[in-house]
Structure 1
Amino acid sequence: MEAFRAAWPFEGEAFWQTVFEMHKDKMQIKNPRVAIVNLEKIFTATFSLTTEKGFQAMSLRDLSSEAQISMGGLYSYIGSKEDLASVIEGVLRACIDKVVAGLNRANLEPVDFLRTLIFSEIYMVEVLRPWYQFCFMEVKGLPRSQQQQTLELELRFEKSLIEVFEKGAASGVFSCTNPQLLASQVTAQLEQWHLKQWKFKLRGVTNDDYAQFIFDNLMRCLR
């Protein structure tokens, strides 16, 4: 986990700088020093209010009060709740893409790639838990176009799994007759961990325990 945190700056000032760079063209505030402080306030408040009352029930006035930013100041960063949801989905999508692209550049063998992908997915969601939970718990309350974008996040990860299954099968390392179905099964197991982690923690299961369990089961399916 610590190695993942060191490799991928998905926390702290560096992360909020990335959020600013991704969306600065849509904001009125162009000073990064000012913007990154307030972006952190806005999104932290959004996740807090969403947990408390749900995104649908949250108003921008609620957000202004929770973030301690005036309504005028808030509109300098976001134009609507839909804009806010779009940014959250976009940030999570960009983080997933960065991790997968990094693994592809490493040119790992299929078994090593698969293990690293599983562990990285669990670590990434642990670090970005509020962003993940927003996308997958609030999806029903989003406009249809944003619902589709959020659902595509799941398909992006499945695509990476399918590709490594097929690559391993082509090289004779894996035996897999239905990579699409296997990828869907793995995704469902990971979502169970992310969305109902309390149940596993009651049993003393750690991130590493669960990641290793998923990987070991996968290897049994692929051989």
Structure 2
Amino acid sequence: MEALCARILERHRDSVRVQKPHVAVANLVRIIDATLTLSNKQGFHATSLRDLAEASGLSMGGLYSYFDNKTMLLSMILGEVSTTVSEVLCAAPDEVMANPFNHLRWLIEAHIRLTEAMQPWFVFAYMEAKAFPSVERRKAVDSEAATEEVFATVLRRGVETGAFRAIDVDLTASLIKPLLQDWYVKRSKYRRRNISLDAYLTGVIAFVEAGLRPVPASL
């Protein structure tokens, strides 16, 4: 959480009015943690700044030192989720990218492990999306489309090189996305079934690959 909030501070340095970085980051941790916790209980739209002040232990004036309104706070959180996803998915090693199957496996694992590490952030972005103001909702839609395009690019290359069977690339990328989301959205379901993160990863990768392998030519 601290590293993520340090990145938020770096991106919003001009608008955050607290000068000492260690103080600013520590308070952002309290603010973001309170926001994610309260939103999970009662929804972001129903959460007031007074609720946030009480839950974070900061005064109303203290909150306004970091953002002018809830929309700006929302933008901070969504921006960090979107930026982190983009950075992680674009960091595949060259040797992994050389093989479409390996690259696709790497992307699936990287995305699901990221959502495991940032689960409250991703749940917030997913569950609150319908209530976002129009600009933030557009950003969320664009972020999801960008993630799908990362997968579509690998799928397209796999089809072109013959590694994957002929498929509708964009449709397949959009069908993979819910498999990535299910782990953090329906965590309790998998916990009840004693399905671990590694087991879920193995299952998703096997399921996706089964639909991509070329059909052997008839003898």
Structure 1 length normalisation: TM-score?
Answer: 0.90
Q: Please name the residue that 1:89 is paired with.
A: 78
1:99 paired residue number: 88
Across the aligned residues of Structure 1 and Structure 2, the Cα RMSD in angstroms comes to 1.5
8 Å contact 2:159–2:167 — kept in the other structure?
Answer: no
CA drift of 1:42 comes to: 0.3
For residue 180 of structure 1, report the CA deviation from its aligned partner: 1.0
Correspondence for 2:24 among 35, 43, 47? 35
Instruction: Please list the CA deviations of residues 152-171 of structure 1 after superposition, one character each: whole Å capped at 9, or x if unmatched.
Output: 22212111110000111122
2:122 alignment counterpart: 132
Mapped partners of 2:143, 2:93: distance in 1: 18
* Match status 1:161 vs 2:143: no
Counterpart in the other structure of 1:116? 106
Superposition pairs of residues 173-188 of structure 1, within 5 angstroms: 173-188=163-178
C-alpha contact 1:119 1:208 (8 A) present in aligned 2: no
Structure 1 unpaired stretches of 5+ = 1-10
For 2:179 and 2:12, the matched residues in 1 are separated by 32
Number of equivalent positions: 212
**Residue of structure 2 aligned with 1:216, choices 188, 206, 210:** 206
Larger radius of gyration: 2
- Conservation of the 8 A alpha-carbon contact between 2:129 and 2:140: yes
Measure, in 1, the Cα distance between the counterparts of 2:3 and 2:170: 36
Whichever residue aligns with residue 220 of structure 1, its letter is A
Query: Given that residues 96 and 106 in structure 2 are in contact (C-alpha distance below 8 angstroms), is that contact kept between their aligned partners in structure 1?
Result: no
Change over 3 Å in CA distance of 1:94–1:104 after alignment to 2: farther
Task: Note if contact 1:165-1:176 (Cα within 8 Å) is conserved in structure 2.
Answer: no
Task: Find the partner of 1:58 among 35, 47, 69.
Answer: 47
1:144 aligns with 2:122: no
Following TM superposition, by how much is the alpha carbon of 1:220 offset from its aligned partner in structure 2, in angstroms? 1.2
Bigger mean CA offset, 201-210 vs 105-114: 105-114
Identity percentage over the alignment?
32
SS at match of 2:90: helix
Q: Deviations over 1:68-87 (max 9, x none)?
A: 11111110101100001111
In the TM superposition, residue 146 of structure 1 has moved relative to its aligned partner by 0.9
Equivalent position of 1:3 in the other structure: none
Residue in structure 1 matched with residue 63 of structure 2 by the alignment: 74
* TM-superposition CA deviations, 1:26-73 (whole Å, max 9, x none): 211232111100000000010111112111111111101110111111
The one-letter code sitting in structure 1 at the alignment partner of 2:14 is D
Unaligned runs of 5+ in 2: 214-219
Q: Which residue of 1 aligns with 2:190?
A: 200
Higher helix share goes to which structure? 1
Q: Which stretch of the first structure deviates more once superposed, 73-82 or 107-116?
A: 107-116
Residue 174 of structure 1 deviates from its aligned partner by 1.2
